[in-house]
Amino acid sequence: MKVMEAVRRPYIGVARLIALAVAMLSLASLAGPVQAQAVVVSQPATATLTVHVQNVAEGGTVRLGLYDRAGYPDDNSKPVASADVKAVAGETVVVLRDLPPGVYAIETYQDVNDNDQMDTTWLGLPLEPYGFSRDAHPVLSKPSFSKVKFTLVTGEQSQILHLQNGVSLVASK
């Protein structure tokens, strides 16, 4: 005959289980109210720049580039942000979004004949209207970064610049 031994397992009655739960809740309430803490995921602070380009002639495209100090004077550098907007006679508005705050320069021109390039004379003088931030005027070359720079801060900001015509400036001097 085989004898089986009973395995003794601890037994907690239902009344004891309820008493244990009430005791735990009581201890938790003594610790004070539990406050939820909000977890804030920080978004990178960005800026929106609205550029009002004035003195725009009829037709073509206003091409605008936003440059940092490292890329500004170089014609082959890639802008931090750029936009090509159909020209609206008088004023064309260009909006650049999600920009990192910093120090920048704007360079723009109106591609009147839409050939994707700034047309120049054989001397290198511009044949199409152009402009820079702070309405800087070039003298034989692009204005220096210090003459065109501005600080872009978080939030919304605007700049106004007036297109200039290189041929008429040379003819008037």
Q: What is the CA radius of gyration of the chain?
A: 34
Amino acid at 84: D
Q: What is the mean pLDDT of the chain?
A: 82
Tell me how far apart the alpha carbons of residues 92 and 49 are, in angstroms, rounded to a whole number: 14
Question: First and final CA of the chain: distance in angstroms?
Answer: 125
- pLDDT at 93 exceeding the cut of 50: yes
**What one-letter code names the amino acid at 132?**
F
For residues 56 and 129, give the distance between their C-alpha atoms in angstroms, rounded to a whole number. 8
Phi, psi of 7 (to 5 degrees): -90, 125
Residue type, 2: K
What is the structure's pLDDT at 47? 97
Q: Which of the pair, 28 or 130, is modelled with greater confidence?
A: 130
Residue pair 120/170 in contact by the 8 Å Cβ criterion: no
**pLDDT at position 130 over 80:** yes
Residue 37: pLDDT band with limits 50, 70, 90 = low
| CATH-assigned architecture of domain 47-171 | Sandwich (2.60)
State the pLDDT at residue 139: 84
* pLDDT tens readout for residues 54-76: 999 999 999 999 999 999 978 78
